[in-house]
Structures are given as C-alpha cells and as structure tokens.
Amino acid sequence: MHNPQITVLMPAYNAGKYIREAITSVLEQSFTDFELLIVNDGSTDDTLDIIQSFNDERIVVLNQENKGVAAALNTGLRHARAPYIARFDADDVCYPYRLQVQYDFITSHPYYSIIGSGVDYTDVRGDLIFTWQPDALSHNEIRQLSYKICPFIHSSVFYKRDVILNAGGYNELAYTFEDHFLWAGILKHEKAFNLNQPLIKVRLNAESITIDEKWRTGKFRQIKYNTLRKHSITEAEGKQLSEIGIKQLSPRIKKGAYYALIGKKYLWNNYQPEKARKNLIKTLSISPLHIKNYFLLLMTFLPERTLIRLYHLAKGSFRLEETELPTAVLNQKELNYGS
C-alpha cells in the first residue's frame, strides 16, 4: 500500500456505543487519501467487533492491553504512515469536509505545525448544545493565553507527525491532560493556528474519563497547573494525579459532572434556561453537596440580558469560559475516551 497523506489517529476503549458513527464519519470524508489508524486500548466490550465489521482497506487496527489514552496515542504515532496526523476520538463525529479543510490549510501555510478548529458540542444523544469557537486564532494570540488554558480541542487537532515525535510524543504521566501538557512545551518552538470553523462534533457523555474541571479535587488541580506552569512532571506527581483521577471514576461522580457541565453550557453559552434547569436539578439529585450548582440553578430564572452581562464580567475577571470547561477537551475531550 502507498503511504497516505493523512493518518486519522483514533484511540478507542470500550467505545462500542459510539464508534460506528465515528468511523463512518471518517470514511465519508471528501478527502480520501488517508488511513484510519485505530488503537484498541484493551476494550472489553464490542468495540473490536464493530471495527472489524467495516470492510475498508484504509482502516488499520492496533490492539494493546489497556494503558490509557496517552500510551495509545504514542503507539499510534509510532505506527502512523502519513506525514500529517488528524486526531480524532471514538465517540465524536467528523464533518465530511474536515480533513480537506485542514489539509489544504496546512499545506498552503507550511510554517504552521498544528491546526485546531471550532467544534460543535453535543449531548450523549448527539443533540447540539452549543458551538465553541476558539478565543485565540493566530499563533501570537495562542501564545498569549494563560498556561492554564488549553488552546485546542484535542480531537479537532491536525498536526505534523514528525514535530510531535521529535517533542517526545504525549507524556503518559499527565493524566487526562496529556495534550495540554504537550502544547505547553511545543508551542515555544512551533507555530499553530486555530480555524474558527467547526469541523467536528464533540460528544459530551457521562462515560468519559475526563470530567468537568470543577469536579476535580483541589489537589488534582494544584498538581496539574503546577506541572503545566513549569512544564515538567515527576513520576510521583503522575502517580498522585492517576490515583485521584481513578477514585473519581465512579458513575455517580461522572454523571453528576456530566449534567452539571451541560447545565452550565445551556446557561452561559446557549441560553435555554429550562434545559439548564433540568440538567442542574439532575446533578443536584446526584450530588446535593455541590453548593455552587444551587446558585447556578437560581440564575436560570434571570433574564438573558442579565446573564450575558454577568457572564462577560466573570469571564473578564476569572476566565470563566476556560475554567468551567473540562480542560482536557475543553482542554480536550478525552471526553470521548471511554471509561
């Protein structure tokens, strides 16, 4: 087989509910010179059966024992045959023009190494919640962002494979923010750009390994931001992050975080107070001690103009938009990486 121009790199762990739609959206791309490299990270559900039900020579499957998303991505990078990598997650959906748009941009602007994009966020059923557009588009704007803010949605990113490999790939100690940690170092030397256009749909779901940042413990956030600031992480720090994160993988915490995030998005980003209220009530029924959600629930009764004013005041003071989103998506979205 000839070497393709693009490797679509998809890690998958217990993604049986969504991976068929994700694969189909890649195979239906208008740009066709690609391989879809799926790293099956020790799935125990029907993920592999669904992958093997497709009859398309562009699909390549690598099977490994469960090691986590960063390790799965590093495995994929080592085996990718294309010079360009389109990151993608097993519960998201590519718009048909995604690869063509990003390939055309990076080949006509070869001084950029990383290209991100806007995304449409959906709930677990695939219904649109809101459209996210990057705050920083140009390289200079991206460089000016706080180190606490991840500049890209991970599953929308398109980059030069050799640049990432030369940087050492993904750090497997940076539990759930391996991409953010990578960008923190690589953007000191490489240029990047964000396209405003939404090119994928990112599915928020309660089965994700990544949860709303506000549901993380204070210790987790302290370690995370300290490692991002200094751009180094020790094995001891990585172990602490993993231990804290694993303790938060209970269905109760993940469901509570999921409904809280959707409630906030319907409140702040797509004013639909009834939907916001419905989701906030669900999260309070699951975790009634999250006091902040009571205040958010009361805010759903405020008029839209007042909420918009409050939102912009809060964003200007505290960068609320970035800190309220799960930073590995919104930072990232490994919000797609199965539990």
Closest CA to 114 of 65, 39, 183, 55: 183
Q: Which two tokens stand for residue 128?
A: 């649109």
pLDDT tens per residue across span 305-322: 888 888 777 766 544 343
**Span 230-287, pLDDT tens digits:** 999 999 999 999 999 998 888 888 899 999 999 999 998 999 999 999 999 999 999 8
pTM for the model stands at 0.89
Over residues 312-338, mean pLDDT: 44
Q: Domain-by-domain residue ranges, the chain?
A: 6-203, 218-248, 250-333
For the cut 60, the answer to whether the pLDDT of residue 155 exceeds it is yes
**Helix 292-299 crosses helix 273-286 at what angle (to 10 degrees)?**
160
Per-residue pLDDT at 292 exceeds 80: yes
* 124 CB-near residues (< 8 Å, 6+ apart): 203, 204, 205, 206, 258
CATH topology for 6-203 is Spore Coat Polysaccharide Biosynthesis Protein SpsA; Chain A (3.90.550)
Backbone phi and psi for residue 12, each to the nearest 5 degrees, phi listed first:
-145, 125
pLDDT (tens digit per residue) in 95-145: 999 999 999 999 999 999 999 999 999 999 999 999 999 989 999 999 999
% pLDDT > 90, the chain: 78
Asked whether the beta carbons of 23 and 51 are under 8 A apart, the reply is yes
- Residue 210 in 3-state DSSP? coil
Mean pLDDT for 56-62 is 97
Please give the C-alpha separations between residue 107 and each of 176, 190, 335, in angstroms, as whole numbers. Answer: 30, 15, 29
Strands (E), 88-225: 93-94, 112-122, 128-132, 158-160, 191-203
Higher pLDDT among residues 272 and 207, named by residue: 272
Question: Could you tell me the two tokens for 289?
Answer: 């001690």
pLDDT category at 338 given cuts 50, 70, 90 is very low
- Please check whether residue 49 is in contact with residue 21, taking contact to mean a CB–CB distance below 8 angstroms: no
- Whether residue 333 is predicted with pLDDT greater than 70 in this model: the reply is no
Taking the C-alpha atoms of 66, 71, 73 and 75 in order, what is their torsion angle to the nearest 10 degrees? -90
Specify the pLDDT at position 1: 59
